[in-house]
Amino acid sequence: MIAVSFAESASLSQPNPLFRHDPVLVAEVLALVPPQARLLADCTLGGAGHARALLERFPEAELFAADRDPRAVEAGRAALAEFGARVLVKQAAFSGLARHLPMGGVDFLLADLGVSSPQVDTAARGFSFSQDGPLDMRMDPDGGGRSAADLVNRARPEELLDLLRRHGEEPFAPRIVRALVEEREREPIAGTLRLARIVAGVVPVKFHRRGYHPATQVFQALRIEVNDELGELERLLAGALDLLAPGGRIAVISFHSLEDRRVKEAFRRWESPCECPTTLPRCVCGKTPLGRRVTRKPIVAGVEELARNPRSRSAKLRAFEKRSDQP
């Protein structure tokens, strides 16, 4: 038995049908798992789709699963109940994984950075611009911290402008911020549809692309800021190699360029850490490769998956393998 306690999973309840999410790139993820893997970690449990597929494909392995969302944790425990003591589910952000996993003991670590369908489709969570709900967007609404409403209504205009540019790469950020400030002075912006209408009202009509709401990047920026998503991703990448066993792999599914860029740069840096000037004939910094990129280019969804699950269109999967002689 691996040095992680899985006993508490034996008393899990029956599957919860209310938290359903179609996982992306499942076959591609399974193909990346080392054949002899014994300890798997799904750091973004969501609807437990990837977790279930991993447990079924690797019947000798144990799985640690985590999610920031307490509702996902509850539903995931229920959905994976049939696997008994092979599963341990915890509520944890990326920054808390080291408290639950053995250093150097994880054979395969998966992080699917996408927002789960139940989060987007449940109006009360405040993630959606297509149905009205409170402007919240917190992955863990019980964990405190600023909600999206707090940001929209209380942040200084300069702060709003900065986060829309950094996290949303929003080209119309200045005019959107002006509109938000004007509207919140009349009445606090409390609902998702009102925010979406304000943004749509100031983005030029010619930029209203079919199938792409003009408020998409604004909602993305607020969600990233509220949940410190990029900070959590950076903390995951900073500690991932220490968690992996020799020859272990990390796989990350990202959904926008801000995430993918960080993953790509980290994997490149791990593979080629040398900092010597290119003018030197040989390396003198002493930094050796920590492993290899398993995916030279990101893996994306195929035609069949795109037809079945349109939300997979933005998914990019990258993987890295730790050196087998690296402790």
pLDDT at residue 16 greater than cutoff 50: no
Residue 238, domain member (yes or no): yes
User: What proportion of the chain, given as a percentage, has pLDDT over 70?
Assistant: 90
Same domain membership, residue 235 and residue 114: yes
Amino acid at 272: S
Residue ending a domain, among 208, 227, 246, is 227
Tell me, what's the pLDDT at 298?
97
Same domain membership, residue 92 and residue 43: yes
User: Could you give the CA distance from residue 254 to residue 295 in angstroms, rounded to a whole number?
Assistant: 14
Same domain membership, residue 242 and residue 114: yes
Contact criterion met (CB below 8 Å) for 137 and 34: no
Tell me, what's the pLDDT at 275?
84
Nearest of 107, 88, 82 to residue 5 by alpha carbon: 88
Average pLDDT over every residue of 136-155: 91
Model confidence pLDDT, tens digit, residues 284-293: 887 899 999 9
Q: Which residue has the tokens 């789709």?
A: 49
Tell me, what's the pLDDT at 12?
37
Measure Cα distances from 260 to 29, 226, 299, 316 in Å: 16, 19, 12, 7
Same domain membership, residue 131 and residue 213: yes
| Overall domain count for the chain | 2
Range of the domain at 199: 124-227
Residue 327, domain member (yes or no): no
Tell me, what's the pLDDT at 120?
64
Nearest of 51, 33, 39 to residue 102 by alpha carbon: 39
Same domain membership, residue 220 and residue 238: no
User: Could you give the CA distance from residue 33 to residue 42 in angstroms, rounded to a whole number?
Assistant: 12
Same domain membership, residue 109 and residue 238: yes
Q: What does pLDDT average to over the chain?
A: 90
Name the strands in the sheet holding 316-322, side by side, starting at the edge strand that comes first in the sequence. Answer: 87-91, 62-67, 39-42, 106-112, 244-254, 316-322, 291-293
Tell me, what's the pLDDT at 1?
39
Tell me, what's the pLDDT at 7?
45
Residue 1, domain member (yes or no): no
User: Could you give the CA distance from residue 69 to residue 90 in angstroms, rounded to a whole number?
Assistant: 10
pLDDT at residue 14 greater than cutoff 60: no
Same domain membership, residue 88 and residue 37: yes
- 181, with CB counted inside 10 A (0-12, 13-18, 19+), is middle
Q: How does residue 131 score in pLDDT terms, banded at 50, 70 and 90?
A: confident
Same domain membership, residue 267 and residue 235: yes
Same domain membership, residue 280 and residue 160: no
Q: How does residue 11 score in pLDDT terms, banded at 50, 70 and 90?
A: very low
Residue ending a domain, among 227, 261, 278, is 227
Same domain membership, residue 24 and residue 106: yes
Tell me, what's the pLDDT at 53?
97
Instruction: For residue 188, give the CATH number of its domain.
Output: 1.10.150.170
Average pLDDT over every residue of 141-151: 88
Contact criterion met (CB below 8 Å) for 178 and 158: no
Amino acid at 96: G
Tell me, what's the pLDDT at 121?
62
Same domain membership, residue 238 and residue 204: no
Residue 210, domain member (yes or no): yes
Tell me, what's the pLDDT at 13?
35
Model confidence pLDDT, tens digit, residues 45-101: 999 999 999 999 999 999 999 999 999 999 999 999 999 999 999 999 999 999 999
Tokens (6 digits) for 74: 């509850």
Instruction: For residue 248, give the CATH number of its domain.
Output: 3.40.50.150
Average pLDDT over every residue of 212-225: 93
Tell me, what's the pLDDT at 211?
66
Q: Which of 12-16, 24-28, 118-122 has the lowest mean pLDDT?
A: 12-16
Element (H, E) at 269: helix 257-271
Residue ending a domain, among 178, 193, 227, is 227
Residue 216, domain member (yes or no): yes
Residue 159, domain member (yes or no): yes
Q: How does residue 323 score in pLDDT terms, banded at 50, 70 and 90?
A: very high
Measure Cα distances from 123 to 59, 161, 215 in Å: 37, 26, 16
Tokens (6 digits) for 192: 């998702």
Q: Which residue has the tokens 């030279």?
A: 296
Tell me, what's the pLDDT at 143?
77
Which residue has better confidence, 169 or 18? Answer: 169
pLDDT at residue 317 greater than cutoff 70: yes
pLDDT at residue 195 greater than cutoff 60: yes
pLDDT at residue 157 greater than cutoff 90: yes
Nearest of 168, 173, 273 to residue 226 by alpha carbon: 168
User: What proportion of the chain, given as a percentage, has pLDDT over 90?
Assistant: 75
Tell me, what's the pLDDT at 125?
74
Per-residue burial over 39-78, b if 16 or more Cβ lie within 10 Å, else e, is: bbbbbbbbbbbbbbbbbebbeebbbbbbbbbebbbbbbbb
Same domain membership, residue 182 and residue 250: no
Q: How does residue 281 score in pLDDT terms, banded at 50, 70 and 90?
A: confident
